[in-house]
């Protein structure tokens, strides 16, 4: 924080939970900002970092130890130096995916300034392959997502770009109090997003214009990839700040068409474009289609868009009980995860304000703190806020931004890594979900790479199916565990699991062991409906 109220200082940063060394547990990548402004040094910082600490992104290796008695000892080791990662841009976010299909997850770091593509060498180190890949994107990017939009087996890359910010021409914005404040994005010119097509040889081509995604754009903050209309082609939903969102429907021929307005997913029910930051896509009501959720500014409510099954949506925020509880908060990172493993997707929102706005009597130089929120699904018929019952971890009041989700201690429930603006990262360990039955799935293609975009259908014996996506994207500027963790509540019988692969093939697994992780590899399943067969760790 330079004290100059640069917009970039209030927007970051995210984090990633991913298994960089393929040892079966989730490691952590933290994105870091820095000092902005001509002539500014760390000595000028409003919140100086601890002495001797240089500001750079960091990689922490998970050294989880599970004792014979099942006790878990979680410990992280800073392996940044050893990794060779030199990410010293003004960091915003991170996306994860195996872009070169070598079985090791790579990183794409978004910055205020040029982005970086860091290739995982598979030996604990990373190489900066930005220049060769052509994915540098010099603008201000926040969220990004790997997506195989043409289904050629190579992960392409969608990058959400925010606004044009020139520090040399800093705009001065005032709140109604007459004091200087952070500007809204409306003061700046939004910049078009980028779509990079993977050539399969380590390089990408900028397909933004030919794909049509430059035809409409706003100040993009949240990006999520999902097949919203069930045609087998991955679509892209972009949450924009203070302007209508985009819903890029994949035409199946290398191009996209923005259907957000007619689809009812561009603005809220009242027709107002909202300050959308975070986003997620999931089948929260278990009706077989993908719904959308965006987090927005204070006094706007977050917004729930419910899919009608054909890729059109209705704003059901109010009727699902999500309006009133979110009105007083500014939401950022978010995710639909089954925190109590009852089979229904719950919702977590990381909150933190963006404008100082009010004259208050506090001497806090950064009065933007808000508590985060947890909403429990009422069997898909609505949500109730259970923040107060979720323990002291949910009573932290900070300026939260990113949220990455994953089972960090491999105990069968989803944990949350929350990043804070000018504050420490917090790892919220779930203490509840592992008490219920669960099924853990690592879904990989024939080459052993996480099958991003695959859909998993879980069919319990006598209940409607549950649907989950294999993904790392969504939330805000963050990347999550690609494994699918399915809560089964009190069920003891192993459900039938069908994987709908991105290439339209479907395979079935039966009798998978409960309460542990299994790997489902394409080609090793059965024809749906045929004899049972299982593959597990």
Member of 42, 46, 82, 359 binding other proteins (CB under 8 A) = 359
- Measured from the CB atom, the residue of 264 and 487 that comes closer to other proteins is 264
Place of tokens 């993908």: 290
Place of tokens 């004792």: 67
Burial class, 81, CB count within 10 angstroms (exposed 0-12 / middle 13-18 / buried 19+) = exposed
- By C-alpha distance, which of 146, 60, 130, 142 is closest to 98? 146
Q: Does 178 help bind other proteins (rule: CB under 8 A)?
A: yes
Q: Does 276 help bind other proteins (rule: CB under 8 A)?
A: no
Q: What radius of gyration, in Å, describes the C-alpha atoms of the chain?
A: 22
Q: Does 397 help bind other proteins (rule: CB under 8 A)?
A: no
- Measured from the CB atom, the residue of 316 and 491 that comes closer to other proteins is 316
Member of 2, 101, 170, 175 binding other proteins (CB under 8 A) = 175
Letters for 339-358 (x = contact with other proteins by CB under 8 A, - = none) are: ------------------xx
User: How many other CB atoms are there within 10 angstroms of residue 306's CB atom?
Assistant: 21
Query: Could you tell me the CA-to-CA distances from 206 to 143, 158, 159 in Å, in that order?
Result: 17, 10, 11
Q: Does 177 help bind other proteins (rule: CB under 8 A)?
A: yes
Total site size for other proteins, rule CB under 8 A: 42
- Measured from the CB atom, the residue of 307 and 410 that comes closer to other proteins is 307
Binding to other proteins (CB under 8 A) within 235-274 occurs at 261-262, 264, 267, 269-273
- Measured from the CB atom, the residue of 190 and 474 that comes closer to other proteins is 190
Residue 206 CA from chain centroid, whole number: 23
Member of 42, 46, 82, 324 binding other proteins (CB under 8 A) = 324
- Are 228 and 157 spatial neighbours (Cβ–Cβ below 8 Å)? no
> Which residues are bridge partners to 112 per DSSP?
90, 140
Measure the CA–CA gap between 258 and 291, rounded to whole angstroms.
Answer: 17
Member of 65, 179, 388, 493 binding other proteins (CB under 8 A) = 179
Burial class, 170, CB count within 10 angstroms (exposed 0-12 / middle 13-18 / buried 19+) = middle
How near is the Cβ of 159 to other proteins at its closest, in Å?
19
Tokens of 317: 């925020």
Q: Does 314 help bind other proteins (rule: CB under 8 A)?
A: yes
Ordered DSSP codes for 350-391: EE--S---S--S---SS---EE-EEEEESTTS-EEE-GGGS-
Q: Does 462 help bind other proteins (rule: CB under 8 A)?
A: no
Q: Does 328 help bind other proteins (rule: CB under 8 A)?
A: yes
Letters for 285-304 (x = contact with other proteins by CB under 8 A, - = none) are: -------------xx-x---
Member of 53, 73, 75, 171 binding other proteins (CB under 8 A) = 171
CA within 13 Å, CB half, 184: 12
Member of 174, 389, 513, 535 binding other proteins (CB under 8 A) = 174
Q: Does 366 help bind other proteins (rule: CB under 8 A)?
A: no
- Measured from the CB atom, the residue of 305 and 344 that comes closer to other proteins is 305
- By C-alpha distance, which of 111, 79, 77 is closest to 94? 111
Measure the CA–CA gap between 343 and 448, rounded to whole angstroms.
Answer: 27
Q: Does 371 help bind other proteins (rule: CB under 8 A)?
A: no
Binding site for other proteins (CB under 8 A): 171, 174-180, 187, 209, 215, 261-262, 264, 267, 269-273, 298-299, 301, 312, 314, 316, 318-319, 321, 323-324, 326-329, 357-363
């Amino acid at each position: 924080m330079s004290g100059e109220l640069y917009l970039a200082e209030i927007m970051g940063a995210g984090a990633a939970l991913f298994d960089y060394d393929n040892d079966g547990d989730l490691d952590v990548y933290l994105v870091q900002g820095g000092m902005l402004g001509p002539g500014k040094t760390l000595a000028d910082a409003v919140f100086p970092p601890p002495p001797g600490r240089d500001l750079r992104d960091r990689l922490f290796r998970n050294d989880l130890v599970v004792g014979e008695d099942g006790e878990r000892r979680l410990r992280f080791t800073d392996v940044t130096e050893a990794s060779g990662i030199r990410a010293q841009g003004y960091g915003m976010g991170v996306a994860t995916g195996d872009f070169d299909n070598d079985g090791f997850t790579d990183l794409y770091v978004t910055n205020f300034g040029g982005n970086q593509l860091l290739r995982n060498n598979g030996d604990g180190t990373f190489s900066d392959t930005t220049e060769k890949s052509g994915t540098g994107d010099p603008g201000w990017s926040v969220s990004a997502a790997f997506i195989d939009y043409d289904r050629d087996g190579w992960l392409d890359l969608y990058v959400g770009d925010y606004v044009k910010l020139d520090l040399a021409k800093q705009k001065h914005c005032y709140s109604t109090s007459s004091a200087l404040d952070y500007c809204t994005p409306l003061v700046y010119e939004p910049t078009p997003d980028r779509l990079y097509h993977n050539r399969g040889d380590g390089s990408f081509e900028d397909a933004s214009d030919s794909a049509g995604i430059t035809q409409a754009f706003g100040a993009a903050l949240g990006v999520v990839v999902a097949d919203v209309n069930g045609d087998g082609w991955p679509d892209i939903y972009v949450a924009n700040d203070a302007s209508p969102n985009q819903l890029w429907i994949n035409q199946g021929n290398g191009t996209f068409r923005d259907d957000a307005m007619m689809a009812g997913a561009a603005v809220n029910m009242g027709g107002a474009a909202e300050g959308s930051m975070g986003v997620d896509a999931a089948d929260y009501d278990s009706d077989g289609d993908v719904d959308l959720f965006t987090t927005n500014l204070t006094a706007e409510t977050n917004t729930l868009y419910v899919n009608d099954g054909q890729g059109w949506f209705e704003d059901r925020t109010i009727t699902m009980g999500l309006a009133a509880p979110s009105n007083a908060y500014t939401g950022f990172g978010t995710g639909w995860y089954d925190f109590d493993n009852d089979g229904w997707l719950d919702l977590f929102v990381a909150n933190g304000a963006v404008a100082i706005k009010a004259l208050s009597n506090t001497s806090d130089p950064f009065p933007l703190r808000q508590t985060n929120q947890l909403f429990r699904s009422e069997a898909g018929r609505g949500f109730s806020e259970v923040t107060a019952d979720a323990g002291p971890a949910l009573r932290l009041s900070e300026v939260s931004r990113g949220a990455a989700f994953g089972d960090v201690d491999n105990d069968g429930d989803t944990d949350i890594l929350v990043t804070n603006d000018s504050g420490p990262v917090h790892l919220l360990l779930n203490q509840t979900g592992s008490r219920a039955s669960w099924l853990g799935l690592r879904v990989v293609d024939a080459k052993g790479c996480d099958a991003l975009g695959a859909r998993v259908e879980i069919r319990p014996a006598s209940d409607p199916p549950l649907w989950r996506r294999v993904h790392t994207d969504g939330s805000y500027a963050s990347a999550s565990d690609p494994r699918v963790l399915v809560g089964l509540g009190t069920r003891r019988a192993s459900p039938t699991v069908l994987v709908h692969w991105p290439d339209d093939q479907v395979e079935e697994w039966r009798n998978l062991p409960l309460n542990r992780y299994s790997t489902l590899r394409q080609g090793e399943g059965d024809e749906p409906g045929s004899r049972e067969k299982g593959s597990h760790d």
